[in-house]
Amino acid sequence: MSLIKFFSTNGHPERVDFKRALLIGQAPDKGLYMPERIPNIPRSLIDKFPKMSYPEIAREVVKPYLGDLVSDSVLQAMLNDAYNYDVPVEKVYDEKYVLRLDRGPTCSFKDFAARLMGRLIQHFLKEDGRSILILTATSGDTGSAVAHAFFGLDNVKVVVLFPEKEVTERQRRQMTTLGKNVFPLSVEGKFDDCQALVKQAFVDSDLSALNLSSANSINIGRLLPQAVYYFFAQSRASARGEDVVFSVPSGNFGDLMGGLLAMKMGLPAQRFVVATNENDEFPRFMQTGVYEPIQPSRNCISNAMNVGRPSNLARLFCLYGGQMDETGHVSKAPDLNAMRKDLYAVSVTDEETRRTIKEAYSQYKVLLEPHGAVAWAGLLRYLKECGDYSPCISLETADPAKFPEEIVRATGIIPPLPPAMARLDELAELYDSIDGQYASLKDYLMRFV
């Protein structure tokens, strides 16, 4: 079979292979890369997944996109190394599960993407004897996951922009206590501002000597690893191989795109609940067919989902035959009926999120944090409205200890600190700050030239 090529959602005629898409991140016309052809995983292979380990399933899902760019043995070693932690599928009641994606080194689901992407990038850079600067914006968890994934590598520097007032102290500490090749940068502004600054730097030719690369969820290398855990969870939760309903807490929609890619590859999935916080531009679009970004984004307690104009909607629209550019302008409407068939979108308020944390704990002794609670609340609403016919899996994307204040407030208990975060509160922090102007970011970056 021929190697899968990737095209830009903005329509640029050039097609690139996985290696190139991974290393440049964003297409030259500011579009996002999508696979030209989505490979199918045969049902006979999916039926074997219940007996396979996480890294083994990951190999089957990722390999078709890589072709022979990475040898089988190198890929399997990378996957074994990247996914050396637990992925619990925890039963809540009946066939309702919480998928805990928070056992990686930075305790958020972003470790899944960052750890494989980091290893792939490192592999390709070594092959070419090159170095790069990873420039990325974070709403809370990407920054630390990416920083940890690249920490200590010789040929990679990482600059992470974060909104100064919108990350929790522990989220910040996970980035600012590393040092070495990791440079955290606090920005006066919101996540969307950080994202806009990063995008501007990418098209600034004065910075081309830096070999900028993005590790945001706009990078296709972040997306593919996020298709894997859907297959894994389905194989563990669905005893008879039935289709599963997934509930996905969504901000920039990278997690959801991983799931939809998996579905197009053959994942036995019934439907996806797309659960947002009060940044409800997508649920409103699904109702009305009119897309209106939210500007500025609303500050909710599920802070990693405070995104008013999700980048990955460009991919989502593309998957359903539409086109959206990098400014959020829709030049071709997607097939709304097909989207409604696959997706059930809900917006969950902070009040409902807090109540959900409280009730999940008092009813089931299941400890959720704000992002996972948005998904669980979305699932409950789906079950009420659409009926209860399938096994359901709700994604829990961070460890509750990252949000101690909210957990104590809702449940009265102090979430235990996972081993990966044990010393975090004691380590010294090191980071720089800039205002929200592009000129300030540029000055800062020029020092690396």
Ligand X SMILES: *Cc1c(COP(=O)(O)O)cnc(C)c1O
Residue 194's closest CA among 165, 223, 152?
165
Q: Which CB atom, from 104 or from 334, has the smaller least distance to ligand X? A: 104
CB-wise, 104 or 391, nearer to ligand X?
104
Name which of 235 and 277 has its Cβ closer to ligand X: 277
Nearest approach in angstroms of CB 316 to ligand X is 11
Distance CA 330, CA 323 (A): 6
Please state the closest distance from residue 442 (CB atom) to ligand X, in A. Answer: 26
Apex 169 CA angle, 410 and 379, nearest 5: 40
Nearer to ligand X, 141 or 280 (CB): 141
Sign of the CA dihedral with 381 first, then 386, 388, and 392 last: negative
- Name which of 254 and 334 has its Cβ closer to ligand X: 254
For the chain, the 3-state helix, strand and coil shares in percent, each to the nearest 5, are 45, 15, 40
Work out how close the CB of 250 gets to ligand X at its nearest, in angstroms, rounded to a whole number: 4
Shortest distance, position 42 Cβ to ligand X, whole Å:
28
- In this complex, which beta carbon is closest to ligand X, that of residue 110 or of residue 190? 110
- Cβ atoms of 26 and 314 within 8 Å: the answer is no
CA distances to 86, 89, 424 from 101, rounded to whole Å, are 9, 9, 20
List contacts with ligand X (CB under 6 A).
108, 110, 140-141, 217, 249-256, 304-305, 371, 397-398
Least separation, in Å, of the C-beta of 72 and ligand X?
A: 29
Separation in Å, CA 86 to CA 62, 89, 158, 330: 19, 10, 27, 40
Q: How many helices (H) and strands (E) does the chain have?
A: 18, 15
Q: Which residues contact 258 (CB under 8 A, 6 or more apart)?
A: 113, 223, 224, 225, 226, 227, 228, 229, 230
Tell me how far, at minimum, the Cβ of 127 lies from ligand X, in Å: 29
- What minimum distance in Å lies between the beta carbon of 398 and ligand X? 4
CB of residue 204 to ligand X, shortest distance in Å: 25
- Choose between 125 and 256: whose C-beta lies nearer to ligand X: 256
Burial bucket for residue 67 (CB in 10 Å: 0-12, 13-18, 19+): middle
Integer CA distances (angstroms), 344 to 165, 247, 357, in order: 32, 9, 22
CA gap 414, 84 in Å, rounded? 27
Q: Supply the DSSP symbol for 108.
A: B
- Return the axis-axis angle of helices 142-150 and 169-176, rounded to nearest 10°: 20
Q: Which is nearer to ligand X, 207 or 313 (CB)?
A: 313
| Per-residue tokens: 421 | 């975060």
Nearer to ligand X, 157 or 371 (CB): 371
CB of 114 to ligand X, least distance (A): 11
Structure-block tokens of residue 48 = 């074997």
- In the bound state with ligand X, the residue whose beta carbon lies nearer, of 267 and 304, is 304
User: Cβ 249 to ligand X, closest distance in Å?
Assistant: 5
